[in-house]
Structure 1
Amino acid sequence: MSYTFQFGEVLRYWPLLVQGAINTLVFSVIAMVAGLAIGVVGASCRISSSRVLRAIAGAYVEVVRNTPLLVQLFLFYFGLPALGLRLSTSQAAILALTFNTGAYSTEIVRAGIESIHRSQIEASTSLGISRLQTFLHVVLPQGLERVYPALASQFVLMMLASSVVSAIGAEELTAYGNRIQSENFRAMEVFFVCAAVYLGLTYLMRVLLAAVAYVAFPRRRALGSV
């Protein structure tokens, strides 16, 4: 069987591919920032002295980690309208990605927080620093620094997993790829190009995350381990 590749039939749609790549990055960055914020709050609840907060955070983590992202996406897009809350495809996509990322970030951040030796907390207390200040200025920065590589890897995986939002018609790279191949019927070439774009986005995301680490963690920068 012979097959003639015709990538020109795909590359002439380059404006759609560029827009899809931009949308993928936008979805991913929003979900990354919001998911990290949820992760910090969730990790705080997971180590809280309150049994109620620990139970709520634990249930959230277990539900998200043991259900498919696609099902979570469908719940936001098809389920919420039944409760009177109708979302656009982009809104549902961002919420689902954030909801999912938040649970994984919760466990990663919790591991970082728990890795901080108790002596540092005791030293802060002896200096008259409040528990909140100790958490925000001593424990959390060091905890995030220690688990940053794991967080960065999780964010990259989330960006790649964002392709599932095309199932509800959210306009990201895979959705545009589907649209292109439905017009030119060159599925092989279309998804080869999409794969190449995802590789480029992955590299770009890693560079951006490394830049964030360079700015946020001076000690890692000094040690050359960003």
Structure 2
Amino acid sequence: MSNDISGASSTYMDNLRWQDNKVPEKKDDTLTQEDFFSLLTQQLSFQDPSKPADNDQMIAQMTSFTMAEGISDLNSKFDSLTASMTSNSALQASTLVGKQALLESNMLDLNESANARGSAVLEKPIDNLNIQIKDSSGQLVRTIDLGAQPAGAVRFEWDGKNKDGERLPPGEYKVVAEGSIDGEYTSLPTATFKNIESVNINSSSGIIINTREGAVRLTDVAEIA
């Protein structure tokens, strides 16, 4: 008899321990439309018959709840739209890999087959614009004379050959744009086409393209070729 009582007591204590260790289920505190109508029904059941509820107030409460629920649904749809737009941006950005971006730079990328291209940026008309190409040691290998040019971006293209007509090896070459503006000889800013090696999607900066010279935002790119 004592063994039965002892076994039952042990089982009872085990059940108590299991209940104590049981993690309570997390409840959703969000009020739904059913909760609202339950509260409204409860409110009507306790109202004073001599002072019935104002219909305008009831309609206002129902409208407020409907608007709140609609805004919540709209936020969820906006989150879904944002995720979809991010995916589309990533897909579109991937198509930029292998193309060239026109960026502010004084370095030309010469490939094995393609010509190196860029632009000289002129704030004023120039009398005699010339483009100087220099190798890694700073030696002048080619000069391109473009003559008089109006204000704006003036395109230039280098076939990769030196002044003797010999094809130079691929790599980076320095470009210097100079000319006479209002009788004063001056250097000018340049932009060159850079190979896009990869792209990133940044939540704050948008699409980032990576070139040999570093990373830049797509909004800072003047042209894609």
TM-score normalized by the length of structure 1: 0.25
User: Greater share of helix residues, 1 or 2?
Assistant: 1
Rg (Cα) greater in structure: 2
Q: Which one scores higher on RCO, CA 8 angstroms, separation ≥ 6?
A: 1
User: Greater share of strand residues, 1 or 2?
Assistant: 2
TM-score normalized by the length of structure 2: 0.25
